[in-house]
């Protein structure tokens, strides 16, 4: 039996046995005026999705959630919430796994365990709301991916959700009061391949350079061979 998560008081949870996509479901609620910190949690997704329309395989026992936020922020600032979610994920995973593992965050939206994907984030927004979608491989994972259970996590999806929600709320409060700098510093602490030569591929071009960090908006800072820095707002990252 999946535990019902212990959530911060501000949260209002909508628990579903199955849904096409938690993000698509909560976007309809957002457009209907549901308040900030409405949380949709599904035990199964039949049409889960990741960035750029990629599918998200929904293995039973894993965590599928979407959180509605209504920040008073610019479009550039709301993009920072993806990194906030990533830091919250890293801190949660660090707490619940018991076996030695390297936890890292791959720009822009993945959590890796020993360089294998274990969680992903999909941020979607309209004029006055942001949806933070998160999928975590708690109990199992597709081939080439990783699960928390494989590294000694004894918690089920509901318990992991409760711990994650507490961290998201704490970091969100910090973000509204102190801005992005503390979150950016923590994200860089976990950054996958920071300082290494990487290749960033986009639909019509690619760049190779040194992964120097992320800027105030969360764009990847790529140091080119001549020393020039290029800000990359979207793309797929590979080892150069």
pTM (predicted TM-score): 0.94
C-alpha 232/C-alpha 40 separation (Å) is 31
Query: Which pLDDT score, from 0 to 100, does residue 84 have?
Result: 98
Q: For residue 188, with 0-12 CB atoms within 10 Å meaning exposed, 13-18 middle and 19 or more buried, which class applies? A: middle
Query: Which pLDDT score, from 0 to 100, does residue 24 have?
Result: 96
Low pLDDT (below 50) residues in the chain: none
Cis geometry, peptide bond prior to residue 108 (ω within 30 degrees of 0): yes
Query: Which pLDDT score, from 0 to 100, does residue 53 have?
Result: 55
Query: Which pLDDT score, from 0 to 100, does residue 50 have?
Result: 58
In our burial notation (b when 16+ CB lie closer than 10 A, e otherwise), range 15-30 reads: eeeebebbbbbbbebb
Give alpha helix (H) positions in the chain: 22-31, 75-78, 81-96, 157-178, 181-190
C-alpha 185/C-alpha 121 separation (Å) is 19
Query: Which pLDDT score, from 0 to 100, does residue 59 have?
Result: 78
Q: Which domains does the chain have, with CATH numbers?
A: 12-189 (3.30.930.10), 194-239 (2.30.30.100)
Query: Which pLDDT score, from 0 to 100, does residue 26 have?
Result: 98
């Amino acid at each position: 039996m999946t535990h019902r998560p212990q959530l911060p008081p501000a949260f209002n949870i909508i628990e579903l046995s199955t849904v096409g996509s938690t993000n698509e479901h909560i976007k309809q609620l957002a457009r209907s005026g549901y308040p900030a910190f409405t949380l949709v949690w599904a035990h199964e997704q039949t049409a889960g999705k990741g960035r750029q329309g990629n599918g998200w395989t929904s293995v039973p026992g894993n965590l599928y959630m979407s959180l509605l936020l209504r920040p008073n922020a610019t479009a550039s600032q709301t993009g920072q919430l993806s990194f906030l979610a990533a830091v919250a994920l890293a801190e949660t995973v660090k707490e619940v796994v018991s076996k030695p593992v390297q936890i890292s965050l791959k720009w822009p939206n993945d959590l890796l365990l020993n360089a294998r994907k274990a969680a992903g984030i999909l941020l979607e927004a309209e004029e006055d709301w942001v949806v933070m979608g998160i999928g975590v491989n708690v109990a199992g994972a597709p081939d080439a991916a990783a699960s928390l259970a494989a590294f000694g996590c004894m918690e089920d999806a509901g318990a992991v959700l409760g711990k994650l929600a507490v961290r998201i709320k704490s970091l969100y409060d910090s973000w509204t009061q102190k801005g992005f700098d503390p979150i950016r510093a923590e994200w860089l602490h976990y950054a996958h391949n920071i300082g290494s030569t990487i290749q960033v591929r986009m639909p019509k071009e690619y760049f190779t350079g040194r992964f120097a960090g992320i800027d105030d908006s969360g764009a990847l800072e790529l140091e080119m061979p001549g020393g020039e820095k290029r800000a990359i707002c979207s793309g797929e990252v590979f080892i150069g």
